[in-house]
Chain A
Amino acid sequence: MTDVKKYTFKDFASDQEVRWCPGCDDYVILRAVQKALPEIGRKKEDIVFISGIGCSSRFPYYMDTYGIHGIHGRAAAIATGTKLANPDLSVWVITGDGDALAIGGNHTIHAIRRNVNMNVILFNNEIYGLTKGQFSPTSLLGQRTKTSPYGNTQPPFNPGELAIGANGRFFARISGNKPKELTAMFVQAEQFKGLSFIEVLQNCVIFNDGAHDRVNGKETRPDNQVYVEHGKRMIFGHDNNKGLRLNGLKLEVVTIGENGVTEEDILVHDAHDPDPTLHLMLTRMSNPIVTGIIRAVEEMPFDERFVGQMEERIAASKGITFDDLVESGETYILD
Chain B
Amino acid sequence: MSNHFSHKSSSELDSVVIRFAGDSGDGMQLTGTQFADTSALMGNDIATFPNYPSEIRAPQGSLFGVSGFQVQISDQDISTPGDELDLLVAMNPAALKTNLQDLPPGKMLLVDSDAFSAKNLKKAGYTTNPLEDGSLDAYRLIAAPMTSRTKAALLDLGMDSKSMDRSKNMFTLGMIYWIYGRSMDHTIEFFQKKFKKKPVVIEANTRALKAGNVYAENLELIATTYQVRPARLAKGKYRIIMGNQATAWGFIAAAKKAKKELFLGSYPITPASDILHELVKHPEFRVKSFQAEDEIAGVTSTIGASFAGDLAITTTSGPGLALKGEAIGLAMMTEMPMVIVDVQRGGPSTGLPTKTEQSDLLQALYGRNGESPVIVVAAHSPSHCFDMAFEASRLALEHMTPVILMTDGYIANGSEPWLIKKLADLPEISPNIAKNPEGWTPYKRDKDSLAREWAYPGMKGFEHRIGGLEKQMETGNVNMQPLNHQEMVKIRAEKVKRVENYIPDLEVEGAQDGDLLVVGWGGTYGALHTAVRSAYGVGKKVGLAHFNYINPFPKNTADVLAKFKKIVVCELNEGQLHKVLLAEHPGHNYFKYNKVQGLPFTVQELMDRFDQVIAHEKVVTA
CB distance from B492 to the nearest CB of A (A): 17
Q: How far apart sit A228 and B458, CA to CA, in the bound complex (Å)?
A: 36
**Residue contact B297 to A107, C-beta cutoff 8 Å:** yes
On whether A325 and B465 interact (CB within 8 A), knowing A16-B477, A332-B41, A334-B238, the answer reads: no
**Residue contact B305 to A81, C-beta cutoff 8 Å:** yes
**Residue contact B288 to A84, C-beta cutoff 8 Å:** yes
Among A69-77, A179-187, A247-255, A267-275, the stretch that binds chain B is: A69-77
Whether a CB of chain B sits under 8 angstroms from the CB of A45 is yes
**Residue contact B309 to A85, C-beta cutoff 8 Å:** yes
Selected from A46, A77, A322, the residue in CB contact (under 8 A) with B301 is: A77
Whether a CB of chain A sits under 8 angstroms from the CB of B447 is no
**Residue contact B457 to A330, C-beta cutoff 8 Å:** no
CB under 8 Å from chain A, chain B span 18-54: 37, 40-41, 43
**Residue contact A82 to B457, C-beta cutoff 8 Å:** yes
Selected from B252, B292, B467, the residue in CB contact (under 8 A) with A61 is: B467
Q: How far apart sit A309 and B287, CA to CA, in the bound complex (Å)?
A: 11
**Residue contact B308 to A89, C-beta cutoff 8 Å:** yes
Residues of B within 8 A of A47 (CB): 457
CB under 8 Å from chain A, chain B span 279-330: 282-286, 288, 290, 292-294, 296-297, 300-310, 312, 326-327, 329-330
**Chain A window 57-90, contacts with chain B (Cβ cutoff 8 Å), 1 for yes, 0 for no:** 0001101111111110010011111111110110
On whether A45 and B461 interact (CB within 8 A), knowing A84-B305, A85-B309, A306-B288, the answer reads: yes
**Residue contact A333 to B237, C-beta cutoff 8 Å:** yes
Residues of B within 8 A of A68 (CB): 303-304, 307, 334, 465-467
**Nearest A-chain residue to B263, judged by Cβ:** A85
**Nearest B-chain residue to A57, judged by Cβ:** B467
Q: How far apart sit A84 and B329, CA to CA, in the bound complex (Å)?
A: 22
CB distance from B266 to the nearest CB of A (A): 11
Residues of B within 8 A of A1 (CB): none
Interface centre among A65, A307, A309, A331 (most CB of B within 10 A): A331
Interface centre among A60, A65, A74, A88 (most CB of B within 10 A): A74
Selected from A43, A82, A310, the residue in CB contact (under 8 A) with B307 is: A82
Whether a CB of chain B sits under 8 angstroms from the CB of A2 is no
Whether a CB of chain B sits under 8 angstroms from the CB of A323 is yes
Interface centre among A50, A78, A89, A331 (most CB of B within 10 A): A78
Selected from A65, A78, A317, A323, the residue in CB contact (under 8 A) with B284 is: A317
**Residue contact B460 to A45, C-beta cutoff 8 Å:** yes
Whether a CB of chain A sits under 8 angstroms from the CB of B590 is no
**Nearest A-chain residue to B290, judged by Cβ:** A84
**Residue contact A81 to B265, C-beta cutoff 8 Å:** yes
CB distance from A260 to the nearest CB of B (A): 52
**Chain A window 77-109, contacts with chain B (Cβ cutoff 8 Å), 1 for yes, 0 for no:** 111111111101100000000000000001100
**Residue contact B308 to A334, C-beta cutoff 8 Å:** no
Q: How far apart sit A204 and B376, CA to CA, in the bound complex (Å)?
A: 44
Selected from B334, B420, B459, the residue in CB contact (under 8 A) with A331 is: B420
Whether a CB of chain B sits under 8 angstroms from the CB of A130 is no
**Residue contact B282 to A81, C-beta cutoff 8 Å:** no
On whether A325 and B301 interact (CB within 8 A), knowing A86-B457, A330-B37, the answer reads: no
Selected from A16, A66, A71, A331, the residue in CB contact (under 8 A) with B330 is: A71
- Number of A-B residue pairs with CB-CB distance less than 8 Å in the complex they form: 203
On whether A77 and B304 interact (CB within 8 A), knowing A60-B467, A69-B468, A86-B309, the answer reads: yes
**Residue contact B458 to A334, C-beta cutoff 8 Å:** no
**Residue contact B465 to A69, C-beta cutoff 8 Å:** yes
Residues of B within 8 A of A317 (CB): 284
**Residue contact A88 to B458, C-beta cutoff 8 Å:** yes
Q: How far apart sit A33 and B527, CA to CA, in the bound complex (Å)?
A: 61
**Nearest A-chain residue to B477, judged by Cβ:** A16
CB distance from B51 to the nearest CB of A (A): 24
On whether A79 and B304 interact (CB within 8 A), knowing A322-B285, A332-B40, the answer reads: yes
Residues of A within 8 A of B326 (CB): 71
Q: How far apart sit A43 and B483, CA to CA, in the bound complex (Å)?
A: 38
**Chain A window 298-335, contacts with chain B (Cβ cutoff 8 Å), 1 for yes, 0 for no:** 00000000110110011011001111011101111111
**Residue contact B239 to A330, C-beta cutoff 8 Å:** yes
Q: How far apart sit A47 and B233, CA to CA, in the bound complex (Å)?
A: 54
Q: How far apart sit A158 and B284, CA to CA, in the bound complex (Å)?
A: 42
Q: How far apart sit A107 and B297, CA to CA, in the bound complex (Å)?
A: 7
Whether a CB of chain B sits under 8 angstroms from the CB of A191 is no
**Residue contact B296 to A313, C-beta cutoff 8 Å:** no
On whether A70 and B300 interact (CB within 8 A), knowing A86-B457, A329-B239, the answer reads: yes
Residues of A within 8 A of B191 (CB): none
**Nearest A-chain residue to B303, judged by Cβ:** A78
Interface majority SS on B: helix, strand, loop or mixed? Answer: mixed
Q: How far apart sit A60 and B464, CA to CA, in the bound complex (Å)?
A: 9
**Residue contact A85 to B304, C-beta cutoff 8 Å:** yes
**Residue contact B307 to A321, C-beta cutoff 8 Å:** no
Residues of A within 8 A of B302 (CB): 81
**Residue contact B457 to A110, C-beta cutoff 8 Å:** no
CB under 8 Å from chain B, chain A span 32-58: 43-50
Whether a CB of chain A sits under 8 angstroms from the CB of B469 is yes
On whether A45 and B459 interact (CB within 8 A), knowing A16-B478, A331-B420, the answer reads: yes
Q: How far apart sit A60 and B458, CA to CA, in the bound complex (Å)?
A: 17
On whether A323 and B304 interact (CB within 8 A), knowing A45-B463, A106-B294, the answer reads: no
**Residue contact A310 to B283, C-beta cutoff 8 Å:** yes
**Residue contact B467 to A77, C-beta cutoff 8 Å:** no
Selected from A86, A107, A334, the residue in CB contact (under 8 A) with B236 is: A334
On whether A106 and B237 interact (CB within 8 A), knowing A71-B468, A325-B252, A330-B41, the answer reads: no
**Residue contact A323 to B422, C-beta cutoff 8 Å:** yes
CB distance from A313 to the nearest CB of B (A): 4
Residues of B within 8 A of A49 (CB): 465
CB distance from B137 to the nearest CB of A (A): 41
Residues of B within 8 A of A334 (CB): 43, 230, 233-236, 238
Whether a CB of chain A sits under 8 angstroms from the CB of B609 is no
Whether a CB of chain B sits under 8 angstroms from the CB of A14 is yes
Residues of B within 8 A of A14 (CB): 465
CB distance from B73 to the nearest CB of A (A): 14
Q: How far apart sit A104 and B310, CA to CA, in the bound complex (Å)?
A: 24
Whether a CB of chain A sits under 8 angstroms from the CB of B256 is yes
**Chain B window 246-276, contacts with chain A (Cβ cutoff 8 Å), 1 for yes, 0 for no:** 0001001100100001010100000000000
**Nearest A-chain residue to B459, judged by Cβ:** A45
**Nearest A-chain residue to B457, judged by Cβ:** A66
Whether a CB of chain A sits under 8 angstroms from the CB of B240 is yes
Selected from A70, A79, A83, A106, the residue in CB contact (under 8 A) with B293 is: A106
- Give B contacts to A, CB under 8 Å: 37, 40-41, 43, 186, 230, 233-240, 249, 252-253, 256, 261, 263, 265, 282-286, 288, 290, 292-294, 296-297, 300-310, 312, 326-327, 329-330, 334, 420-423, 456-469, 477-478
Closest 9 CB pairs of A and B: A69-B467, A81-B304, A81-B301, A317-B284, A85-B308, A67-B465, A82-B304, A77-B297, A85-B305
New A-B contacts (5) at CB < 8 Å, excluding given A326-B249, A331-B237: A50-B304, A66-B307, A81-B312, A306-B288, A334-B43
18 examples of A-B residue contacts, CB within 8 angstroms: A45-B459, A46-B458, A60-B465, A69-B467, A70-B468, A71-B329, A74-B327, A77-B296, A81-B263, A81-B303, A83-B304, A85-B312, A86-B308, A310-B288, A317-B284, A322-B423, A325-B252, A334-B234
